[in-house]
Homo-oligomer: A and B are copies of this chain.
Amino acid sequence: MARKTGSHSEITGPRVHAAAQRLFARYGYAAVSMRQIATEVGVQAGALYNYTPDKQSLLFDLMRAHLEDLLAAWRAESCPAPPLAALERFCRFHVRYHLDRPDEVFIAYMELRNLVPENFAVIERLRKRYETELETILCAGQAQGVFALEDVKLATLAVIAMLTGVTTWYRDTGRLSRNRVEMLYWDMVRKAVGA
């Protein structure tokens, strides 16, 4: 029976994952110790094991949650539309979503090699599913003659790399607003695909 007031588990649990997220993003999975995470949460290291079986699961859970949220958010936002409109929606969504979640994104792209093979396979499958969402749009546009692509698969990877790169330089204090960044990236993608 869960304690209603005074129970810490419903508070501490999320705090453990939030602390791990912030620290993994800043210093890297391998460079962060369980004791650092515990300090950030305000408990002793042993207490973390009430909320995760081990350090690896902490990383895996963060990455899986991020990719599942990303997919769910895109599917909630996307709707049947002509390829050009669908591509614009995808680009703006991708930039906006990634700018809003820099830590999640950073971990998902940088910590793949710290996953044990079994977890890596799960994450790769999710990442591939997201890629396929874009590839499908590009394929449709190519078939309808709206885009002019020499290689749809390469274009998919090139566009995602270009868009994701925004997280490496964007700062809220910079000269460009998020809306303008969205627009500028969409403009370049539109031209890159020949539309």
A interface residues with partner B (beta carbon < 8 Å): 26-28, 30-31, 110, 113-114, 150-151, 154-155, 157-162, 164-165, 168-169, 176, 181, 183-185, 187-189, 191-194
Contact = CB atoms under 8 A, between A and B. Distances in A.
Contacts of A155: 188
B176 A165 contact: no
Contacts of A165: 157-158, 160-162, 165
Contact of A188 (B31, B158, B184, B185): B158
Per DSSP, are chain A's interface residues mostly helix, strand or loop, or mixed?
A: helix
Contacts of A187: 150
A6 B50 CA distance: 58
3 closest A-B pairs by beta carbon, nearest first, are A161-B165, A30-B30, A192-B192
What's the number of copies of this chain in the assembled complex? 2
Contact of A162 (B161, B168, B169): B161
A161 B109 CA distance: 13
A181 B154 contact: yes
A17 B68 CA distance: 39
A128 to B, nearest CB: 11
Nearest to A112: B168
A27 B112 CA distance: 10
Nearest to A25: B113
Contact of A151 (B160, B168, B184): B184
A188 B30 CA distance: 37
13 contacts: A150-B183, A150-B184, A150-B187, A151-B176, A154-B181, A158-B162, A158-B188, A159-B162, A162-B162, A188-B192, A188-B193, A191-B192, A192-B192
Contacts of A164: 161
